[in-house]
Structure formats: structure tokens, C-alpha cells
Amino acid sequence: MIHFAWPWLFVLLPLPWLLRRALPPAAPGAALYLPHDLMLSAAAHARGALRRWRGWIGALAWLLLVAAAARPQQIAPPESLHRSGRALMLAVDVSGSMSIQDMPLGAQTVSRFAAVKAIAGDFVSRREGDEVGLVLFGTHAYLLTPLTFDTTTVARQLEGAAIGLAGRETALGDAIVLATRHLQELPARSRVVVLLTDGVNTAGAVAPMDAAKLAASAGVRIYTIGIGSAASQTMSVFGMNLPAPDDDLDVATLQTIARETGGKFFRASDAGQLAAAYRSIDALEPLARGASLLRPREELYPWPLGAAMLLALFLLPWPALRPFAKAAA
């Protein structure tokens, strides 16, 4: 069914006719005297026919232009839309240490960030019914994707993120504050932060525990995930293999943040444990069960707008059209 979003714009249809009636007529040009009345009559008849055709083309172009401005839409049948009323912000550490390759994934060992993108991306794409956003943090914290029901887009944004994008250090407190600030702006609902890091707080203006108290007062629940191999591994820096000890992870702080906000701490020493952590969060924060109806709308205005522009081309004084006008005369 075709529906016009702004049907009141059709009141503009008589505007050209009103302007023609209100404006004074154009001044007559120099008269052309022909030796025979027959030639004068034929030329006048040809000009009159061309003027009538141009008038009809102009009227049709104006009608199509007004129709495009009224925003015609194709309304599809109602579709079921699941909404949980839950807002989930994923805060991911992109500091330099996330490049350490100590996470077994299948038959190979990948970097910590590669494992996060593979598993967290799948977790996000399955949060149908939740509003999901993405915060990246390193030396600074940035909102990469605002809260949205389009979980596919959030997963793509995470896939396109890069290590060091927000700096090489780790600002845990700033990331929590940024995620909390965007969540508390929403109406009352379940507010969740999934915080993933492999280090300790080394940057930022807010201490992690102060940020946790702010989140708790705003009703934000934080699940913390500490990643990285429990055994000493190696990392590649400029082609050299250097030791990468795991004692940089501040487990106590992450546990306290989760406990203070009503969440839970998970330790992920490999890709399997990381996937298990997300499965546990799925169980603790179940997906939507309610449903509402949505009627998708497809915008159709480009079609009448394009047709109006094509018709307007015939109203221009193209030099190439003059031979046809003379032939008609």
C-alpha cells in the first residue's frame, strides 16, 4: 500500500497557476513582420503547439516534484520485533598488550584481540532484542557505536577496530564512566556493561573503584572479563619474541568492580574460556521474550523525483532541439 508521509504538501499543486495569475505579464519583444499572412499563421500555430506541450510537461514535472516532497512510502505487512528493554554496552580494551599472541583458538594461537573479535562479535550479533553499544578504550575511552538495536552493525564495528586505536595504555575507570553515562540517559531499564581487559588501570582521570561506585548508583551492572594466558607466553615485537607474563592483570580490581555493581567476574585464559564467559553472561542476562509489531516503510520518493528531473530537461532551451522546432514550423 502506498502512503504519503507528508500529504499536506499537495496544497502546493496550484502554486505555479497562482503565480502566473499574480505576476504581471512579460514585456512584449520586438515584432516580426512577414510578407505573407499564411507564413505568419503557420509560425504562430507551431509556436502555440510547442508552448502547449511545454506547459503540459511542466505541469506533470511539478506534480511529480510535489509528490516526491510528500514522501511516498510502501508500507510492508507487520513484522514481529523482539525488544527486551535491556541496554548492553560492550567495553573492549584495545591497548597495546592486546596484541600478545597467547590465546589458543582452534588449531592455532592468535592474539588476545583477535580472540575477542571472533567470540565477542558472535555474542553481540545474537543479542536480538537488546540495545547494544560499543566502547573502545586504551589511553582514552571512546564511544565507537551508540546504543542501537542493529546488533549486526555493532559486530561489524568491533571487527573493524584495531589495537592502539585509543592509545597504548589502559583507562579502565574512564571506560566505565563513559559506558555508564550513555546507559543512564535511557529510561529505566536493565543496564549492563560487559568490560573486557587484559591489564591494570594505567591511565585516565577516574579510578576504577570510583567509576564502579558511579555505575552502581546509576543501576548499571558490570560483568568483567580478564583475558590472557595464565602461563608465561611470548609476544612478537619488531620480529623479536619477548616474554609476556600474565601478572599484569589486576584480578582483584576486576572482581571488586563486578561485586560492587551486582555483576560477575570471569577469567579467560584461552578462547574456550572466553566463549564460556559469554555463554554464562547469556544465561545471566537472557534474551528478549516479549514481542511488538513493526511495519517497515520503504521510501519511494526517488522515483517521482527522478522522473520530474528528466521531464525538466525537456523544458530547457537546448540548442539541439531548435532544428526540430523549425521542422515543426
Mean pLDDT of all residues in 131-149:
90
- Angle, alpha carbons 72-78-84 (nearest 5°): 120
Share of the chain above pLDDT 70, in %: 75
Q: Which pLDDT does position 288 carry in this prediction?
A: 53
CA atoms within 13 A on the CB side of 45: 9
> Which residues does 257 contact at the CB level (< 8 Å), separation at least 6?
176, 195, 208, 209, 211, 212, 222, 224, 263, 265
Q: Which domains does the chain have, with CATH numbers?
A: 2-21+35-76+296-328 (no CATH), 81-284 (3.40.50.410)
CA atoms of 197 and 278, how far apart (whole Å)? 14
Least confident of 43-57, 147-161, 294-308: 43-57
Mean pLDDT of all residues in 143-172:
86
pLDDT tens string 167-182: 778 889 999 999 999 9
CB 207 within 8 Å of CB 201: yes
Mean pLDDT of all residues in 306-315:
86
Of the candidates 198, 224, 214, 202, the residue with the CA atom closest to the CA atom of residue 100: 198
CA atoms of 104 and 203, how far apart (whole Å)? 29
CB atoms < 10 A from the CB of 11, how many?
A: 9
Higher pLDDT, 214 or 169: 214
Given a cut of 60, whether residue 293 has pLDDT beyond it is no
Q: Which pLDDT does position 245 carry in this prediction?
A: 44
CA atoms of 130 and 87, how far apart (whole Å)? 6
pTM higher than the cut 0.85: no
Q: Which pLDDT does position 217 carry in this prediction?
A: 92
pLDDT tens string 97-137: 888 887 777 777 888 888 888 888 888 877 777 888 999 99
pLDDT band at 216 (very low <50, low <70, confident <90, very high): very high
Higher pLDDT, 165 or 40: 165
